[in-house]
């Protein structure tokens, strides 16, 4: 709000809320639900992901829900299980590499005579 030079009244007016509701939200006096958080983010002109992201994890804002879930599962694994999964994901086989699936060019030699 400070970066955009917005007051509590400005945000309240945009959202059709009372100024005291905005003040209570900003002071942490009320429990904020997802719908109100999303509305508040709209009111101050930021994305919901910007409001809830961990600093240093900016790439998470661009992740799909499936990618986020995979990351959560990956973090919950033990080191041995993570290493095993990593080995499987990075294993290369002849079937997996398109350039290795192609047959060598045939060499047909015509006999003269």
pLDDT at 14: 92
Q: Which pLDDT tens digit goes with each residue over 3-47?
A: 889 999 999 999 999 999 999 988 888 888 888 888 998 999 888
What confidence tens digit (pLDDT) does each residue in 69-93 have? 888 888 888 889 988 888 888 887 6
The whole-number average pLDDT for the span 90-102 is: 62
Q: Which residue is associated with the tokens 């994890």?
A: 57
Tally DSSP H helices, then E strands, for the chain: 7, 0
Cα 21 to chain centroid distance, Å, stands at 30
Domain boundaries, the chain: 1-52, 54-89
Task: Identify the CA nearest to 43 among candidates 29, 25, 55, 57.
Answer: 25
The domain defined by 1-52 carries CATH number 1.10.260.40: yes
CB 39 within 8 A of CB 47: no
Residues 34-63, mean pLDDT to the nearest whole number: 76
Task: Note whether 41 and 48 are within 8 A (CB).
Answer: yes
């Amino acid at each position: 709000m400070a970066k955009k030079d917005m007051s509590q009244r400005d945000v309240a007016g945009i959202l059709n809320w009372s100024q005291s509701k905005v003040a209570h939200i900003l002071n942490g006096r009320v429990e904020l639900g997802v719908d109100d958080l999303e509305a508040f983010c709209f009111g101050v002109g930021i994305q919901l992901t910007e409001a809830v992201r961990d600093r240093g994890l900016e790439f998470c804002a661009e992740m799909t829900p499936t990618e986020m879930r995979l990351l959560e599962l990956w973090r919950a694994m033990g080191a041995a299980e993570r290493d095993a999964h990593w080995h499987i994901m990075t294993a290369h086989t002849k079937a997996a590499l398109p350039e290795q699936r192609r047959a060598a060019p045939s060499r047909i030699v015509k006999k003269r005579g």
